[in-house]
Amino acid sequence: MKKIYVNEEWCLGCHLCEYYCAFANSGKDNMVSALKDVKINPRIQVEEGKDICFAVNCRHCPDPICVKSCIAGALSKNSDGMIEIDTGKCVGCFTCVLVCPFGAIMPNDDGHAIQKCELCTKNGCGTPNCVAHCPNNAIVYEER
């Protein structure tokens, strides 16, 4: 399955992917109205070190511990292998936050459910928005 990968050597630590992620999932069609004065809560997060930066999001694990641990049956693997969240079933217990080894799952804005990267399949973008807008092509969407 195609996944999002980050090449550490090329990541500038500019955080643009976080903004494009937040915009893609905002439901708005204008970036300014989507992000102005908003504290963004993106599904991809950049880690910055002394001489290295990289962005992290859901790895769509083949043997996903989040799915096995969800107390509500709200997380599942779809036929492509993507890990999906049914926010209608999720009760926001954060057991999945407790187990994801990548720290790639997080409370959503109202705190009553979680959010995670679903490869922009559910927000109208079609292809991952972080990949499309990374200025240095450090984020790629490919089969490995």
Ligand X SMILES: Cc1cc2nc3c(=O)[nH]c(=O)nc-3n(C[C@H](O)[C@H](O)[C@H](O)COP(=O)(O)OP(=O)(O)OC[C@H]3O[C@@H](n4cnc5c(N)ncnc54)[C@H](O)[C@@H]3O)c2cc1C
Residues that bind another protein (CB under 8 A): 5-8, 47-49, 52, 54, 56, 59, 65, 68-69, 71-73, 88-89, 91-103, 105-107, 111-112, 144
- C-alpha distances out from residue 20 to 112, 135, 142, Å: 23, 11, 19
Residue 68, token pair as written in the block: 């096995």
Q: How many residues bind ligand X (CB under 6 A)?
A: 2
The two three-digit tokens of residue 129, written as one number: 């928005």
Alpha helices in 92-140 (DSSP H): 95-99, 129-133
**How many contiguous H segments (helices) and E segments (strands) does the chain have?**
5, 8
Residue 58 interacts with ligand SF4 (CB under 6 A)?
A: yes
Q: How far apart are CA 58 and CA 50, in angstroms?
A: 24
**Of the candidate residues 4, 100, 119, 139, the single one contacting ligand SF4 (CB under 6 A):** 100
Binding-site member from 38, 65, 71, 98 for ligand X (CB under 6 A):
71
> Could you say which of 52, 65, 135, 136 contacts ligand SF4 (CB under 6 A)?
65
Residue 94 near residue 114, CB atoms below 8 Å: yes
Residue 128 CB, nearest approach to ligand X (Å): 32
Question: Which residues form the interface with ligand SF4 (CB under 6 A)?
Answer: 58-61, 64-66, 70-72, 74-75, 83, 85, 90-96, 100, 102, 104-105, 113-114, 116
